[in-house]
Structures are given as structure tokens and as C-alpha cells.
Structure 1
């Protein structure tokens, strides 16, 4: 006697699919290894092409206190760079989106690993897009010989220096290729304007104070305006 298994309805199949996706195993394993190299041979040219179309001083942020781990350091920096590529694609035009997508394709392999959310201890400093792209190219070059030889499963949680004494000093704007701070020059330009405004306000207040009508105090006699000396009082002449 054969017992036929009940057929699954479309609703049941959809429910099982959702349960498999929501289960811990369905969200990806803790493995982060690559059998074949995901880094192309022309990534440098792709990044250089994007750099030619971008404003060199466009502001972005980089992690200042990311640990310099020999195995995980390059992968961690590529994770942060890939996030910036995805963010820039949402605000770029159609032509620039294609160049951003090409660079994003070069580093998209980092999303195949189940990285943990960014730790709250990370501290970010502002730099420019040219520095970020140059650093991305350097990290890809450093990772390419080892990407198929190492298992990066230990790198799924970004590590940062929590001790303030070990924080990496932020790079100066000159070393990053960005324009230097302009606040002192701006203050020098605004200072004469502020002094002129104060002088004009003081002069106007003094003029208004002297010209405003004065209300006499109770019991105070207000002197009458003097008559001109050549003006004689009118006299009645009797005829």
C-alpha cells in the first residue's frame, strides 16, 4: 500500500520560502573565502576613469581608527569604500552612475561575506573622493595576491582602536589634496565689515538721540523760542 504525500499548496510553498530566508542559515554562512579571484586585472584603470570625472575635493569620510590588521585591514577598508559607492550612485547623474557602477563592481565581492554591522567605536574623518579612490585601488592591489589563499571568516566584524592614545592622527587637508582651511581668511574679510557696521550703528543712534523730540518733566518750564532781534513788537497808532 502506497501512501501519497499531500501536495504543497502555493501558499504553503511561499511560507516555507520565507521561513528559509528568515532563518539564520538562510541569511548566509559565516564563511568568507574565495575559490576564484573576484578582483579583475584592470581595476586600476576603472578607478582612474571614475576619478577623471569626479570633483577631486568632493567630501567623503573614512574611518580614522580602523585597526591595521594584516589579514583583514584591506578587506575592511573595501567594505567602507563599497558603501560610499552605493551612496554616491543615489545622487549621481546617469552618465556618472555608469562609472560608479563599474567601480562598485570591482569591490562588490565584499558583500558576499556576512559582515556584522559597523561598530559604534568607529570614528570618521572627512577627506576627499580622490583620496578614497586612491586608497581603494591600493587595497585591491594589496589584496589581489592573497584573496584566494586566505580564509577571511575571522574578518566579519570590523575592529577599531578604542583607546584615544592609539587613534590615528587625521591627515592634513594639504596631504589629502583638499584645499586648506579658509576660516582665518574669512574672518579677516568679515572683521572690517563688522567694525564698519558697529560704527554706523553708533552714529545713527547718536543722531537719533539728538534729534528725537524731548518730553518735559512735570513742573518744568519749556523756554520759548527767541524772536529775531530785528523783529519789533506791533504798536497801535491812535489817530
Structure 2
């Protein structure tokens, strides 16, 4: 991967960039989370006595991207990690941790220094479903008290509906965008034109179930043949799917690609 700022200097295609992942919520070292941003952080850069990486170059990249009008958010979870909550109280406490480390709060261990991210994404693919509505509600209360900028809550569920880990949360908590993963599943973009392709279900969720009736649903696709095990389609086929979905479903917000390095290499 190139440094984050390089992508924003050379492309106007992306509106939102998701940094992935913060994959450990509470590590043994001082109770701070851990993250793995691939090569976006300097080697051996953890704050002393912790496993929390210090990534000043990426912090500068965040500010570069934001100066170009792009939102940069942090994804929590991922396919592998140690995350989740035992109860709502722990979830609320963690909301303050994230606020202080990455958003509008303050801490002596801010991984991105003075860069203030634009929100948080939930890519929950394991563990318990407990606590996520409370986590979102607490974050939103912190957002409301900060008039400096607009913050976002997003989620990245798998395409089977309802999602195995976020299904209950998406029925009871506010989200601004969902980046539905239409890959590595029977309902992926490779199933377009068949019963298995289920954007209609997600559109119905957006209009009748979601707390936020203006939520936008994004079609998440692999950015290259090697980005996922299944779900990749050619750009011509993707344009066909996009045109159809856009015309049929008013909740359609756009396309999410995993990931940016694969996109630029394709």
C-alpha cells in the first residue's frame, strides 16, 4: 500500500476512506485497544508500555484527505481479532476511549496525533452482539456535544439478511451508511440476476426498519480478483449492476470497494 495521503492526492473518486482495522478492543497493556493498519504505521511505533500504535504519517494523511473533502473513518472489528463487550456499561466506556483516541476528545496516546477522524465503522464478524447499540448511542451523544464537525456511524454487514452479528444492532441503533459486503457469500455480486442477490431486502430494511430512514446502502465489492474469494465482477458488469440498483432502490448510496490498494492495482 501507498501512504494514505498519496491516494488522496491522485484521485477524486473516493468520498469516504475507511481505515481498517482496530481489531482488539481492550488489550492487556493499560486497557488500550490495538489496531493493524497494514503498512500505514511506522515499525516499532507503539506508545511506550502499550500495544497501541503511534502513526503520525497516517495522521498527516488523514488531514490531507480531509482537505480534499473526503471523510476518513476508522473500522472496528474485521475478520480476525479480539473484540466485543460483556455488557452495555463496557460498551459505553469504550465509546469514550474511541472518542478520546481518534475523534473529538483528548488523550496523551492519540495514534493519529491531532487528526480528528470523521467517524467509526463497525465491521463485526465474530464475538457477541452485546453492547453495540449502547456503544453507538454513547458515541452519538458525544458527537452531539461537538459542533466543530459532522461525525458518522457506519456498518459493514455481510449481505445475508439479517447479518449474523449486526442484525439486532441495525434494527435498534442509528447508522448513517451501511457498506454491505456483497462478496464471499452466496448473495454476492456474482449472483446478480438471480434470487440470491438481495439488495431489495437491504433497501426494505433502510426504508421500514432502520432507525435512520435516510440511511444509505452501499454495494460492497472486491476491487480485484485477488481481493476476495468470491464476488468479483468486471467493471462493465459492475456498471450494469450499479445502474440497475440505482434505478430500482432509492436507498442506494454508491459502491464500496475492498480495498484501495487492490483498486489502484486493477
TM-score range, shorter chain: under 0.3
Give the helix-richer structure, 1 or 2: 1
Larger Rg: 1
Give the strand-richer structure, 1 or 2: 2
**TM-score between both structures, scaled by the size of structure 2:** 0.21
Highest relative contact order (Cα 8 Å, sep 6+), 1 or 2? 1
**TM-score between both structures, scaled by the size of structure 1:** 0.23
